[in-house]
């Protein structure tokens, strides 16, 4: 099965370079990377064109404020994979990341992962290449005391379990509870994303479209949401929290649409043209 990894980026080429270096070591090889840029940067374009180690595409758009949903829709339209995996541009996948998503992919199900939040010193070490993400992954337990002391790290979300192994299949996969989508790490089949017309771009700069909105829309369409926590893992680079302002009006609009079961959004993939990608 071919996979398209769609990474939402804005200016941070250094972090994207870390992602690409990790993707070179993926245990599952049949994938492409789609860099969905919420900007139209010459530097980003030059960088993506320089990458020869993996199959890569780059989509861009005019920078007129945060339009992450639109840039992700650009990525969906450019993607050729049967399975779409979405990550943010500050999330560094484990070497087993794609393989885990593929192993757990099932029709009728959307998979939602989680992230280990790295403290600032480890994030800086990765950025300065004093520490490789593969080394951090393989030596994870060596860093356990430090990460356990950091309440923001969410240490347990960095523990890897083989998704086809007995422990995972017995204690995680059999859980019946739904797992809410986290926009920085989830996977769905491309035709399911197209069926709901992609990300809803009407929520502006808010984060509503990233996870909250997709969550109910996928379920209303008839899909189940299941976890891939502890299987499809990513490291989240430290940064100061981004304030996108008060989203109460957007949430109220979303809840109204949910009540009406309007799960096929109006301002989505269908509004794009070939020029958008």
Q: Give the pLDDT confidence of 2-51 residue by residue, as tens digits.
A: 999 999 999 999 999 999 999 999 999 999 999 999 999 999 999 999 99
Contacts of 172 (CB under 8 A, 6+ apart): 161, 227, 229, 230, 231
Residue 71 burial class via C-beta count within 10 angstroms: exposed 0-12, middle 13-18, buried 19 and up: buried
Q: Write out the residue range of the structural domain in which residue 156 sits.
A: 3-276
Q: Which CATH number do you get for residue 98?
A: 3.90.550.10
pLDDT score at 154: 93
Residue numbers in the chain where pLDDT is lower than 50: none
pLDDT of residue 175: 81
The pLDDT score that the predictor gives to residue 277 is 53
pTM tops 0.85, yes or no: yes
Per the structure, how many domains does the chain have? 1
């Amino acid at each position: 099965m071919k996979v398209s990894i769609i990474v939402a980026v804005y200016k941070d080429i250094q972090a994207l370079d870390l992602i690409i270096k990790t993707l070179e070591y993926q245990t599952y090889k049949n994938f492409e990377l789609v860099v969905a840029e919420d900007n139209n940067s010459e530097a980003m374009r030059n960088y993506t064109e320089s990458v020869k180690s993996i199959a890569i595409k780059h989509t861009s758009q005019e920078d007129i404020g945060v339009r992450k949903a639109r840039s992700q829709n650009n990525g969906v339209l450019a993607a050729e994979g049967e399975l779409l995996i979405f990550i943010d541009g500050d999330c560094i996948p484990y070497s087993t990341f794609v393989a885990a998503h593929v192993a757990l992919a099932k029709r009728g199900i959307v998979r939602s992962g989680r992230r280990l939040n790295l403290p600032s010193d480890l994030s800086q070490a990765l950025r300065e290449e004093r520490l490789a993400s593969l080394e951090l992954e393989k030596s994870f337990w060596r860093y356990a005391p430090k990460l356990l002391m950091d309440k923001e790290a969410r240490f347990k979300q960095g523990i890897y379990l083989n998704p086809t192994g007995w422990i995972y299949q017995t204690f995680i996969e059999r859980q019946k509870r739904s797992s809410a989508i986290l926009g920085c790490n989830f996977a769905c089949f491309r035709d399911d994303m197209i069926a709901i017309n992609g990300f809803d771009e009407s929520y502006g700069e808010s984060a509503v479209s990233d996870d909250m909105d997709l969550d109910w829309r996928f379920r209303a369409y008839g899909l189940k949401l299941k976890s891939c926590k502890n299987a499809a893992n990513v490291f989240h680079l430290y940064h100061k929290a981004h304030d996108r302002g008060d989203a109460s009006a957007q949430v109220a609009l979303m809840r109204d649409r949910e009540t009406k079961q309007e799960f096929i959004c109006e301002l989505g993939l269908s509004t794009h043209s070939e020029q958008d990608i």
